[in-house]
Amino acid sequence: MVWTGLVIGAVSFLIIGIFHPIVIKCEYYFSARVWPVFLIGGLFACLLSMFVRQTILSAILGVLGFTMLWSIGELKHQEERVRKGWFPANPKRTNRSGPSHEPATDDESTKGA
């Protein structure tokens, strides 16, 4: 019995699943400007996968590399989801474009009353 395909599939599933919260946390704490880290890491993992002779490890590095490259676009999408209010914004970051997600102050809440 050959387990190579199942191992690669399972590890691919885990890598992609792990990167979903990584993208969310990176956007929350660092903004989408952290994308060069994903670019360098992704390119390095892809390059390394071409020189590893072991099939499973090479495939895992390739999946990791492309997942990191895909995460660059997901960082931009996550920024948009935060702007729409689907995910919480980091209140400590003030350089965010778009509407503020901070609670209204007393002055702002009494204007409409």
In a domain, 82, yes or no: yes
Q: What residues make up the domain containing 82?
A: 4-89
In a domain, 54, yes or no: yes
In a domain, 111, yes or no: no
Number of domains in the chain: 1
Q: Which pLDDT tens digit goes with each residue over 6-39? A: 999 999 999 999 999 999 999 999 999 999 999 9
Q: Kindly tell me the burial class for residue 83, based on how many C-beta atoms sit within 10 Å of its own C-beta (0-12, 13-18, 19 or more).
A: middle
Q: Which pLDDT tens digit goes with each residue over 30-62? A: 999 999 999 999 999 999 999 999 999 999 999
In a domain, 42, yes or no: yes
Q: Which pLDDT tens digit goes with each residue over 89-104? A: 999 886 555 444 444 4
